[in-house]
Amino acid sequence: MRKLVSHAQTHKGLVRKLNEDACLDMPDSGVWLVADGMGGHAAGDIASQLVVDTLKVAVQRSEQVSVELITDALHQANTELCAYSAQHLDGHMAGSTVVALFIDKVHYHFMWAGDSRGYLLRHNVLKQVTRDHSQVNEMVEQGLLNSEEAEQHELANVITRAVGVDPYLTIDIVSGVWQPGDIFLLCSDGLNKELSDAEICQYLSHSNIAEANRALLHSTLVAGARDNVTCIVIKVDLNDDLINEKDKTIPLYLK
């Protein structure tokens, strides 16, 4: 028997007056999502919540969750957000980045648009699975900037893809075979802007994912939390002793 254990939290941070992040935590369906309403755009909180609600309804109505179901829901959210902006925002856009994770009986699947991230911790090695859809990341890939320069660049907040900003949404997908003990992290950029990958790895190595996630948020707040912060930690677990009674669990049986 396999168990999926997850812990989710969101916080407005220490600078922003409004939390424009939203998240979805559905371990019974193997589905998680983080949406970050785009700063500087009108109704960012409405945008992120619409993305969450659209996927939640799609999963609840479906007898079987799939990558196609999730991507279809994200495309639906994109269409609805574009229509909302046209009808209610006088030419402005309500947009949101998104990163989703789906874990089935054998595979994990990351789906994303924007700079909200998905990580995998396996055998104490942390890997960023997603690739930021951002101006500075494109410059890094072209060799125009290094990673350290990118963090401080004036275009660091400019993203190149998001839900609700274009009539057609392109969603990147990366899949792989999960292993027992794998730990996944979904987060808005409010987390990774304050904590390095080395720090994230250190906290995720805690045996209890709820404590690990609370430590991530606490450290982000200590670092200044200049943006909204959302983080979901998910573990594919074999050992009941590692499961906190407050965590959500769901058996995952393999044929």
Q: What's the distance, CA 1 to chain centroid? A: 27
Domain housing 223: 2-252
pLDDT at 91: 72
Ranges 115-119, 142-146, 205-209, most confident: 115-119
Average pLDDT over the chain, rounded to an integer = 88
- How much is the average pLDDT of 58-82? 97
Q: In angstroms, how far is the first alpha carbon of the chain from the final one?
A: 10
pLDDT at 188: 98
What's the CA gap between 59 and 55, in Å, rounded? 6
pLDDT at 158: 76
- Total domains in the chain come to 1
**Residues 17-32: tens digit of each pLDDT:** 999 999 999 999 999 9
Using alpha carbons only, what angle is made at residue 170 by residues 46 and 86, rounded to the nearest 5 degrees?
40
Contacts of 155 (CB under 8 A, 6+ apart): 135, 136, 139
Domain harbouring 71, CATH code:
3.60.40.10
Closest CA to 98 of 2, 162, 149, 166: 162
What's the CA gap between 210 and 27, in Å, rounded? 14
Query: At 118, is the pLDDT very low, low, confident or very high (cuts 50, 70, 90)?
Result: very high
Dihedral sign for Cα atoms in the order 129, 135, 138, 140 = negative
Percent of the chain with pLDDT over 70: 84
Q: What's the distance, CA 30 to chain centroid? A: 14
